[in-house]
A and B are shown apart, each in its own frame.
Chain A
Amino acid sequence: MSSETQKILTTDGIPLEESLKKAEKKNKIKAFLLVAPLLLFIIITYIFPIGEMFTRSIDDRMVTNMLPKTFKAMETWDGKELPPEEVFAAFLTDYRALAEKKEHGKLGQRLNKEKNGFNTILKKLWRKMKKFEEGNAKEQIMAIHKRFRDVKYWQAIKRTAPPYTMSKYLKGMDMYYNEDGKVVQVSEDRRIHRILWLRTLEVAFFVTVFCFLMGYPIAHLLATLPMKYSNLLMICVLLPFWTSLLVRTASWMILLQQQGIVNDFFVWIGLVADDSRPEMMYNKTGTYVAMTQILLPFMVLPLYSVMKTISPSLMRAGKSLGGTPFVAFWKVYFPLTIPGIGAGCLLVFILAIGYYITPALVGGASGTLISNQIAYHMKATLDWSFASAMGLMLLTGVLVVYWIYNKLVGIDNIKLG
């Protein structure tokens, strides 16, 4: 075919291709304008905060900004022996400037985290430095406390020089930079975060399993019952959705506490003695029970919508071809529900992994999850950068789960409705 014959013109003489592009462009702009509010919303409420969280979690510019001259002087120092006179002089100048702005206390706190005992000697320096003579800063400072003669304290300052640090992330995994700048684990009795991560995964996994085991039959019933009954059942499934999360959790507290309804019932039927009522709350059991109930609809709905599309004649065909009811279910029905199972499990797992209110209220000490730790650092210790770091680790974890799921099942196989 020659190129002349390929070029088709419209009746106006404009090449067809161009004319089509023009027409499409208008539609594209219209479509974009429709999406724009949502896009803007997502950027403002989602992308931007995540970026903010990220910078906060790795930001370590505080000391860098407080001691600009010191770090400049330290550039030539190899960090093995005590620093030269210029470093001491620069440090003194910086510290004086800070003292004037009354910010020297912050520096002490920050450096104390890096090396224990820093705060004391800095306070001592603050008291004594008013009487300092001009020049010879090194000798005068070293005379105040023997720790100033210890090279490790100066190394600690140098370590805070880079504006960014991964130390919050390491802390989230119970690790830290030691004095030599190496990554080491904290002593075994202080490894709380790793326990929380594992517990969060464990709880999310089992809640997903429980939701699946309970949700599958319900969804099947919903999909196969006559309309009259299935509507009623659907309302029962959705009812928890219409109730406040807090109310639902509180009602579980009423049910599960030691003097609660369930325990009373157990005692009444003689299952347990009155003085040995089992603890079903403020531990993992409570977290499991309440979270399973709350997340159940997220499993039932995707399963239901998939099952609804499976023709009942398929099961009949399976049976008429000689499959026992079990074989017909396992070979025909079950494989067809896998997209729904995938969607439901992914949804429940991802929601469970970041669950906060329920474990906070009914979890007790052994039932709190990583999200409770994040909240603790946001509200109690005010270590927002650490909270941000853990939040991002959680987000990464969720993305990893999503990625694994995509590799195993394929995200195209997900069906939410």
Chain B
Amino acid sequence: MAKNQQFVRFDKVDKSYDGKVLVVKDLNLDIAEGEFITMLGPSGSGKTTCLMMLAGFETPTNGEIYLDANPISNIPPHKRGIGMVFQNYALFPHMTVYENLAFPLKVRKFSKEDIDKKVDKALSMVSLTGFENRMPGQLSGGQQQRVAVARALVFDPQVVLMDEPLGALDKNLRESMQYEIKHIHESIGVTVVYVTHDQGEALTMSNRIAVFNDGKVQQLSSPDKLYEEPVNSFVAEFIGENNTFNGEVTDISNGKCKVKLDSGAEILSNPIRVKSKGEKTIVSLRPERAIIDPENKMDNKHKGKIEEVIYHGDHTRVRLNLLGNKEFILKVPNSSARMDIKLGNEINIGWDSRDARALDPK
């Protein structure tokens, strides 16, 4: 069965709270059935507003949202059949775990047997069987989180929304919950729209990521593409670590461009967002793509001075002063071979021009 590629569709959606500022601008977004899509962005970028519009707690100022080809702007939240996991779990504190899970089933007038069955199933899915009679206050944060996930899924909604659900958990628990949610998604195939400001979370969990900034989707693509091939300097800087050079395009040919940096040096890079000579640009290079003592085929080779060495266990981060950029970061895997990484030493650095992406200037 072919999956509906436009299961959830934002069509030219604008949203303004005060009539002066648009928090969401001309949003067009298609979400496929069964997809795990993450809305990622800094706070105030409009991602949560989008989620709230989808859930029905906010109405779009302009445009329309479609769920399975039906416009839903005028449907109240309780008729949308969309499950939601809230930032602070929003478990009903006066109900037991069982009653929390039974709530969406009771309002849908399921029989007692069906409710028992579904609650059992949902609880075993989040491995909380036996916790039926606990009150939410008696559970740990991670357990509450699982109950919230189970409650959002127990009535088999078409879409589940998650609004920074792991924000309140500590790091280890957050990571294990990421995998757990991912596995649940894989096993039941529900469409998940996930909101977070944590890029690590977004990269590990999603099929696709929509990076939000300033009310707009900056880039919508799979995690690997997002990381390897950012389309603009915001995405490049927001996702992962990033070395940047400010400069001006002096030549563009054969899919390569020459960029003259402020320090006077010239580097070769991959023209992504620059079209012609004389344009200002920011060149972005991932730390792990720059290599010490490069082979001959690399078309960028420069000398840099080590300013700082930071030990990170499995790797060492080296901060260099390279071509006028004092914040150039290099990641070196730890091995006994590299003894010349010492403060003040000069080393040779090189990278392939395809990895240096010339993006839009800010």
A and B assemble together: yes
Binding site for B on A (CB under 8 A): 311, 313-314, 316-325, 327-328, 331-332, 335-336
Does B215 reach chain A (CB closer than 8 Å)? no
Given contacts A317-B84, A322-B81, A332-B92, 19 further A-B contacts (CB under 8 A): A313-B86, A313-B87, A314-B90, A316-B57, A317-B92, A319-B57, A319-B76, A319-B78, A320-B78, A320-B80, A320-B82, A320-B161, A321-B103, A321-B104, A321-B107, A321-B152, A322-B108, A323-B107, A324-B107
Does B171 reach chain A (CB closer than 8 Å)? no
- Shortest distance between the CB of A124 and any CB in chain B (Å): 76
CB–CB A320/B103 < 8 A: no
Does B55 reach chain A (CB closer than 8 Å)? yes
CB–CB A328/B84 < 8 A: no
CB–CB A323/B103 < 8 A: yes
How far apart are the CA atoms of A11 and B92 in the complex, in Å? 51
CB–CB A319/B90 < 8 A: no
Q: Which residues of B contact A313 (CB under 8 A)?
A: 86-88, 90
Across chains A and B, which 4 residue pairs bring their CB atoms closest together, nearest first?
A: A321-B104, A317-B90, A313-B90, A320-B84
How far apart are the CA atoms of A324 and B265 in the complex, in Å? 66
- Shortest distance between the CB of B168 and any CB in chain A (Å): 13
Does B77 reach chain A (CB closer than 8 Å)? yes
Report the nearest A residue to B79, measured CB to CB: A322
- Within residues 122 to 180 of chain B, which ones have a CB less than 8 A from any CB in chain A? 151-152, 155, 161
Report the nearest A residue to B101, measured CB to CB: A321
Q: Which residues of A contact B77 (CB under 8 A)?
A: 316, 319-320
How far apart are the CA atoms of A322 and B78 in the complex, in Å? 4
Does B83 reach chain A (CB closer than 8 Å)? yes
Interface centre among A327, A328, A331 (most CB of B within 10 A): A331
Q: Which residues of A contact B81 (CB under 8 A)?
A: 322
A and B contact pairs by CB, cutoff 8 A, 11 listed = A313-B86, A314-B90, A317-B86, A319-B56, A319-B57, A319-B76, A321-B103, A321-B151, A322-B155, A323-B104, A331-B92
Does B344 reach chain A (CB closer than 8 Å)? no
Q: Which residues of B contact A325 (CB under 8 A)?
A: 76, 78
Q: Which residues of A contact B55 (CB under 8 A)?
A: 316, 320
- Shortest distance between the CB of B79 and any CB in chain A (Å): 8
CB–CB A322/B88 < 8 A: no
Does B94 reach chain A (CB closer than 8 Å)? yes
- Shortest distance between the CB of A413 and any CB in chain B (Å): 11
Does B200 reach chain A (CB closer than 8 Å)? no
How far apart are the CA atoms of A314 and B90 in the complex, in Å? 5
How far apart are the CA atoms of A131 and B202 in the complex, in Å? 117
Does B93 reach chain A (CB closer than 8 Å)? yes
Q: Which residues of B contact A323 (CB under 8 A)?
A: 78, 103-104, 107
Report the nearest B residue to A317, measured CB to CB: B90
Q: Which residues of A contact B56 (CB under 8 A)?
A: 319-320
- Proximity string of chain B (63-96) to chain A, C-beta cutoff 8 Å, 1 when within and 0 when not: 0000000000000111111111011101111100
Report the nearest B residue to A331, measured CB to CB: B103
- Shortest distance between the CB of A351 and any CB in chain B (Å): 28
How far apart are the CA atoms of A331 and B103 in the complex, in Å? 9
Residue from B79, B90, B108, B151 in contact with A316 in the complex, judged by beta carbons closer than 8 Å: B90
Q: Which bucket holds chain B's interface residue count?
A: 20 to 34
Q: Which residues of A contact B103 (CB under 8 A)?
A: 318, 321, 323, 331
Report the nearest B residue to A335, measured CB to CB: B94
Q: Which residues of A contact B76 (CB under 8 A)?
A: 319, 325
CB–CB A328/B88 < 8 A: no
Interface centre among B55, B76, B77, B152 (most CB of A within 10 A): B77
Q: Which residues of B contact A322 (CB under 8 A)?
A: 78-79, 81, 104, 107-108, 155
How far apart are the CA atoms of A327 and B86 in the complex, in Å? 19
Residue from B78, B84, B93 in contact with A324 in the complex, judged by beta carbons closer than 8 Å: B78
Q: Which residues of B contact A332 (CB under 8 A)?
A: 92
- Within residues 100 to 116 of chain B, which ones have a CB less than 8 A from any CB in chain A? 103-104, 107-108
Report the nearest A residue to B80, measured CB to CB: A320
Interface centre among B76, B79, B94, B152 (most CB of A within 10 A): B94
- Shortest distance between the CB of B339 and any CB in chain A (Å): 50
How far apart are the CA atoms of A321 and B152 in the complex, in Å? 7
Report the nearest B residue to A315, measured CB to CB: B90
- Proximity string of chain B (30-67) to chain A, C-beta cutoff 8 Å, 1 when within and 0 when not: 00000000000000000000000001110000000000
- Shortest distance between the CB of B172 and any CB in chain A (Å): 25
How far apart are the CA atoms of A335 and B86 in the complex, in Å? 20
How far apart are the CA atoms of A199 and B151 in the complex, in Å? 50
- Shortest distance between the CB of A225 and any CB in chain B (Å): 16
Q: Which residues of A contact B90 (CB under 8 A)?
A: 311, 313-314, 316-317
Indicate whether A320 sits within 8 Å of B83 (C-beta atoms), given known contacts A314-B90, A328-B78: yes
- Shortest distance between the CB of A117 and any CB in chain B (Å): 68
Q: Which residues of B contact A314 (CB under 8 A)?
A: 90, 92
- Shortest distance between the CB of A180 and any CB in chain B (Å): 58
Q: Which residues of B contact A320 (CB under 8 A)?
A: 55-57, 77-78, 80, 82-84, 161
- Shortest distance between the CB of B37 and any CB in chain A (Å): 18
Q: Which residues of B contact A317 (CB under 8 A)?
A: 84, 86, 90-92
CB–CB B155/A321 < 8 A: yes
Report the nearest B residue to A310, measured CB to CB: B93
Q: Which residues of A contact B93 (CB under 8 A)?
A: 336
Report the nearest A residue to B91, measured CB to CB: A317
How far apart are the CA atoms of A327 and B79 in the complex, in Å? 13
CB–CB B78/A311 < 8 A: no
How far apart are the CA atoms of A278 and B151 in the complex, in Å? 57
- Shortest distance between the CB of A324 and any CB in chain B (Å): 6
- Shortest distance between the CB of B348 and any CB in chain A (Å): 55
How far apart are the CA atoms of A317 and B55 in the complex, in Å? 10
Report the nearest B residue to A327, measured CB to CB: B107
- Within residues 221 to 251 of chain B, which ones have a CB less than 8 A from any CB in chain A? none
- Shortest distance between the CB of A121 and any CB in chain B (Å): 72
- Shortest distance between the CB of A336 and any CB in chain B (Å): 6
Q: Which residues of B contact A331 (CB under 8 A)?
A: 92, 103
Report the nearest A residue to B57, measured CB to CB: A316
How far apart are the CA atoms of A324 and B108 in the complex, in Å? 11
Q: Which residues of A contact B91 (CB under 8 A)?
A: 317
- Shortest distance between the CB of B146 and any CB in chain A (Å): 15
How far apart are the CA atoms of A314 and B78 in the complex, in Å? 13
How far apart are the CA atoms of A319 and B77 in the complex, in Å? 6
Report the nearest A residue to B103, measured CB to CB: A321
How far apart are the CA atoms of A327 and B108 in the complex, in Å? 11
How far apart are the CA atoms of A322 and B101 in the complex, in Å? 12
Q: Which residues of A contact B151 (CB under 8 A)?
A: 321
How far apart are the CA atoms of A321 and B55 in the complex, in Å? 10
Indicate whether A336 sits within 8 Å of B94 (C-beta atoms), given known contacts A318-B103, A320-B77: yes
How far apart are the CA atoms of A361 and B150 in the complex, in Å? 60
- Shortest distance between the CB of A332 and any CB in chain B (Å): 6
